[in-house]
Amino acid sequence: MLETEELWEENVRRVTPYTPGEQPQQKNIIKLNTNENPYPPAPGVREAMQEMDIDLLRRYPEPYGDPLRKALAEETGVEPEELFLGVGSDEVLALAFLTFFHGEKPVLFPDITYSFYDVWAELYRIPYRQISLNEDFQISKEDYIFPSEGKDGIGGIVLANPNAPTGVELNPETLEEIIAAHPEVVVIVDEAYVDFGATSVQPLLKKYNQLLIVRTFSKSRSMAGLRLGYAIGNKKLIKYLYDVKFSFNSYTINQPTIILGQAVLRDRPYFEKTVRQIEETREKSASRLESLGFKVFKSKTNFLFVTHPKLDIPDLFEWLKKRGIFVRHFNKPERIRPFLRISIGTEEEMEALFTNIKEYIIGKEK
Ligand SMILES: *Cc1c(COP(=O)(O)O)cnc(C)c1O
C-alpha cells in the first residue's frame, strides 16, 4: 500500500541524497570501500589530543580556523586569505556550488565522476549537464572548451583531478586549456587525491582568478574522521565563499580540528612516507590484478578502478563482502556496473584481497 501524501509535504524540499560507502561497525573486516588511508594519523596527533586544554571547548573557536589556516598557508605556499577551511572537502564543495553557481546556465561535469556533484546541483536547483567520458574514461577537452551551449552559455565547470571513481589523471596542460577558455565562470578542480602522485594545478592560480582548487585531509593525511577540507583560490573568490559560509554557520572549524589539523601538518616526513607506501602498494596491486585477468585503469590515487572480461563483478563484490572484504561497487551510471573501486590498504590487507579473489576465480572454474 502506498502511503498517502500529507498536505505539508508539498512544501518540502525533496532530494535524492548522496549514498556514501558503507561504514560497517564490526571489527576484523578489511575496509577497502571509501578510500580511507590504511595508516594511522601522524603520531603527533595523539600527543596533541592528549595535551589539549579542555577549557578551550568552553569558547567558540576562531571563525576562520586560525591558527590552523595560517599553518596550512605555510604548508601550501599561499596567503591565509587565499584559503578557505571547511568540514571536509564535501562542505567546501557544497558551499562552492552554492556560492559560484548562481545562474540559469548549466554547470558542466563528466557523467562518471564524484557522484556528489549532481546531488548538490539538484539540491540548489542549479542547471547542469553531464558530459560522457570516452571509452578509456578520459575527457575530451573540446567538450569543455567548445561546449554545445556556446562559450557564453555555461555557468561553470567542475572537474575532479585525478578523477573519481576512475583514478585517471588529466594532464595539467589540458586542464589549463579548459580553464583559460572560460574566464567568465568559476572552474572548480577537486584535488582530493592529488597527493598520490598527480600534478596539481596550483601554479595556475597566479594566472586564473576564477580557478578554485579543493583538497582534503581525509585521504592522504589519514584524517577522514576529523572532517577537514580546504579550498585555495584568489582572495576575492575566497571572500565570496566565506560570505556565504558566514550566512550559514560561523563556527564550522571546531577547536579540536584547529589543534589536530596543525599536528598533522607538523609531521611532513610521516605524510610523505605513508603516501609513498600507498603508491608502492598500488603499483604492486595493479600488476597482481592484471595477472589475474583484470583490466586496471592507470591510477594516480589511493584506489584502483578495475573490471574483468570474464567475471560477474556484482557477484564478486557480494562474495567478498560475505568474507568481510568491503570494496566499492556502483550501480549508477549503468556503464560502470561491471567495475569495482578498490581502495589501497596495507600490504597485508591487499594480500588477503588477492587470496580471496583467487579463491573466487578457482571456484568459478570448477
Ligand atoms: C573523498 C572525496 C571528497 C570528500 O572528502 P571529504 O572527506 O569530505 O574531505 C571530495 N571529492 C572527491 C573526489 C572525493 O573522492
Say if residue 37 is in the same domain as residue 47.
no
Q: Using CA atoms, how far apart are residues 207 and 213, in angstroms rounded to an integer?
A: 13
pLDDT at 3: 77
Say if residue 140 is in the same domain as residue 227.
yes
pLDDT at 1: 53
> Among 90, 92, 214, 264, which is best to mutate for testing ligand 1, by the most ligand atoms less than 8 A from CB?
90
DSSP states along 100-117: H--SSSPEEEESSS-TTH
The residues of the chain scoring below 70 in pLDDT are 1-2
From its phi and psi, is residue 125 left (phi > 0), alpha (psi between -120 and 50) or beta? left
Say if residue 252 is in the same domain as residue 168.
yes
Say if residue 37 is in the same domain as residue 65.
no
Answer yes or no: is 174 within a domain. yes
Q: Using CA atoms, how far apart are residues 233 and 3, in angstroms rounded to an integer?
A: 48
Answer yes or no: is 247 within a domain. yes
pLDDT at 316: 97
pLDDT at 262: 98
Global pTM?
0.96
Say if residue 151 is in the same domain as residue 292.
no
**Ligand 1 centroid from CA 53, angstroms:** 30
Question: Among the three residues 231, 266, 301, which one is the final residue of a domain in this structure?
Answer: 266
The total of other beta-carbon atoms located within 10 Å of residue 149's CB is 14
**Ligand 1 centroid from CA 36, angstroms:** 10
Answer yes or no: is 14 within a domain. no
**Ligand 1 centroid from CA 161, angstroms:** 12
Count how many domains the chain has. 2
Answer yes or no: is 12 within a domain. no
Q: Using CA atoms, how far apart are residues 320 and 181, in angstroms rounded to an integer?
A: 45
Say if residue 175 is in the same domain as residue 248.
yes
Say if residue 35 is in the same domain as residue 53.
no
Say if residue 235 is in the same domain as residue 295.
no
pLDDT at 20: 85
Question: Among the three residues 266, 291, 317, which one is the final residue of a domain in this structure?
Answer: 266
Answer yes or no: is 8 within a domain. no
Domain of residue 96, residue span: 43-266
Residue nearest to atom 12 of ligand 1 (CA): 192
Question: Among the three residues 214, 234, 266, which one is the final residue of a domain in this structure?
Answer: 266
Find the CATH number of the domain harbouring 355: 3.90.1150.10
pLDDT at 365: 80
**Ligand 1 centroid from CA 150, angstroms:** 30
Q: Please identify, by atom number, the ligand 1 atom nearest to the C-alpha of residue 114.
A: 13
Radius of gyration of the chain from Cα atoms?
21
Say if residue 155 is in the same domain as residue 119.
yes
Answer yes or no: is 125 within a domain. yes
Instruction: Look at residues 272, 339, 333, 365 and name the one whose alpha carbon lies nearest to residue 131.
Output: 333
